[in-house]
Amino acid sequence: MRRFWRQLIAAAFICGLGEAALAQQPRVVPQSHADAVLSFSPIVKKASPAVVNVFATRIEQRPVNPFLDDPIFRRFFGEGGGGPRGPTAQSLGSGVIVDAGGLVVTNNHVIEGMTDVKVSLADKREIPAKILLRDPRTDLAVLKLTEGSAFPTMELGDSDALEVGDLTLAIGNPFGVGQTVTQGIVSALARTQVGISDYGFFIQTDASINPGNSGGPLVDMNGRVVGINSAIFSKSGGSVGIGFAIPVNMVKIVVAAAKGGGHQVKRPWLGATLQNLSKEISDGLGLERPAGALIADLIAKGPAAEAGLKRGDVIVSVDGQSADDPEAVGYRLATKPLGGQATLGVLRGGKTVFLPLRLAPAPETPARDPVKVKGASPFAGATVVNLSPAVVEELSVQGVAIGVVVTEIDEDSTAARLNLQKGDVILAINDEKIGTTRELEQATGGRRYYWKITLARGGQVFTTVVGG
């Protein structure tokens, strides 16, 4: 019996030493499933100082009512209707510092339409920020902190190295409650047909992402940014485990453009119209599966035509990376720097051929020649430019090759009340074709009893008549 108690006491003593050793053991980044039972805190400590909250507001000026200078009038009729009324719209999101000089990446939709942006750092400092670059096509924006220096940064990783099942962290400010960390895995890669931006090629994760997380980083187990959290799929507005992040390899192109002083991102131009492959089309072409992007049309002297692509060809890879649909082809090309070339894998006649594609931007031909429409026409207050391949790419114009496109619309203008929209292509006025901005300026120079307007929007053509 004494021996039994001696063994029991010894075992308890050894267990106590083991627990003490575990308590003193330094925390390490988990490298395996067994390690994952420990802690992600080393990653969070490394990454979180570079994660920020983004606050954006817009201040509108109201027309000044001269009677409001009279205090008696204000007493009876209130303060409404006079002068600036302070912020009329607010937006809250997240961001990540990617350069020690104070460059912050966030979502474009966080600051869209906003004029005043402030950034709150993890150490509680609040710093004004300047909008350097907006890129609506990717839903990304780059800000510059206007005060301070030597900011904490997060390294940009490689989204092409991600695999389904990899562990990730999402860091941001959901619902404005403060910096929050959630953990999950990469649920899927190369998600297309999501409808968030022009370049639909997203990382899907089940790390909880909620409103306010937009613009925050998706972080790998080395504490590097692998994506910018952009959207969730939800019927309730809260996280259901389906979140989407913009791959960091796309982010790198936008950051490089901002560092280079650009106000917009120029990307390689294919010079071709791509189409999804249906089962019927793939069967007709003798393909094993409907994967790839079908060349439906080519622009003469464009890079695709110069490379030797033909109608009916199917692009299946870009520089050896598979491309299962037009969105994948667009993404792969959009993450390539201008200059040099990319190699396209193309199915033609049952065989795969490899063609060199010149990586050049879309040409500005004809020149934009912007015109702001004035006078009594329904287009007053709209700015239009000539349609060129560069404008088509920039504004995602579909289905038209000639006309003038709307780029800006003044608030409370006649064009705004007509519900004219950015990206609309004006094709004809009173059955007269409009091919240039000067033709539009001339056609809208006088008064008319009525205006018959033909325009293209989202690939569809509409005709309407409004009174003069």
Q: What is the Cα 73 distance to its own chain's centre?
A: 48
pLDDT given for residue 447 in this prediction? 78
Which residues are 106's β-sheet partners? 141
Distance CA 238, CA 231 (A): 11
> Is residue 369 annotated as involved in ligand binding?
no
Dihedral pair phi/psi, residue 39, rounded to 5°: -150, 150
pLDDT at res. 36: 54
DSSP string computed for 89-124: EEEEEEEEEEETTTEEEEEHHHHTT--EEEEE-TTS
Tens of pLDDT along 412-424? 888 898 888 889 9
Helices (H), 352-436: 389-395, 414-417
Task: Give the contacts of 26 (CB within 8 A, at least 6 positions apart).
Answer: none
Contact 452, 383 (CB under 8 A): no
Residue 235 in tokens: 């019927």
Q: How far is CA 432 from CA 208, 371, 426, 427, in A?
A: 54, 18, 11, 8
Query: Does 70 carry a binding-site annotation?
Result: no
Encode pLDDT of 137-149 as tens digits: 889 999 999 988 8
pLDDT at residue 45 in the model: 92
More confident residue, 89 or 325: 325
User: 94 or 238: which carries more pLDDT confidence?
Assistant: 94
Tokens 């007709």 belong to 284
What residues form DSSP beta bridges with 247? 227
CA distances from 2 to 7, 12, 228 (A): 9, 15, 65
For the ranges 33-42, 74-83, 191-200, 274-283, the maximum mean pLDDT occurs at 274-283
Give the residue-averaged pLDDT of 244-255.
93
Give residue for tokens 């954006």: 56
Would you state the pLDDT for residue 345?
Answer: 95
Establish whether 276 is an annotated binding residue.
Answer: no
Provide the pLDDT confidence category of residue 65 given band limits of 50, 70 and 90.
very low
Mean of per-residue pLDDT scores for the chain: 82
Q: Structural domains in the chain? A: 47-145 (2.40.10.10), 159-259 (2.40.10.10), 272-358 (2.30.42.10), 371-467 (2.30.42.10)
Task: Tell me the average pLDDT across 228-239.
Answer: 66
Give me 314's structure tokens: 């199917």
Each residue of 338-371: pLDDT tens digit? 998 999 999 998 889 999 999 999 999 999 999 9
Compute CA distances 41 → 32, 80, 122, 186, whole Å: 15, 51, 15, 19
For residue 65, the 8-state DSSP code is: P
The set of catalytic residues is: 109, 139, 214
Is 313 annotated among the ligand-binding residues?
no
- Taking CA atoms, 212 is separated from 111, 126, 242, 365, 429, in Å, by 12, 17, 15, 41, 44
Closest listed residue to residue 96, CA positions, set 260, 274, 224: 224
Compute the distance between CA of residue 378 and CA of residue 417 in angstroms, rounded to an integer. 9
In which residue are the tokens 């622009």 written?
299
**The pLDDT of residue 12:** 45
Check whether 297 has a pLDDT greater than 60. yes
Does the annotation place 227 within a ligand binding site? no
Tens digit of each residue's pLDDT (9 = 90 or more) over 317-346 = 999 999 988 889 998 999 999 998 999 999
| Token pair in block for residue 188 | 């899927």
- Residue closest to 246 by CA, chosen among 283, 282, 192: 192
Residue 102: which of 145, 67, 162, 62 has the closest Cα? 145
């869209």: which residue's tokens? 112
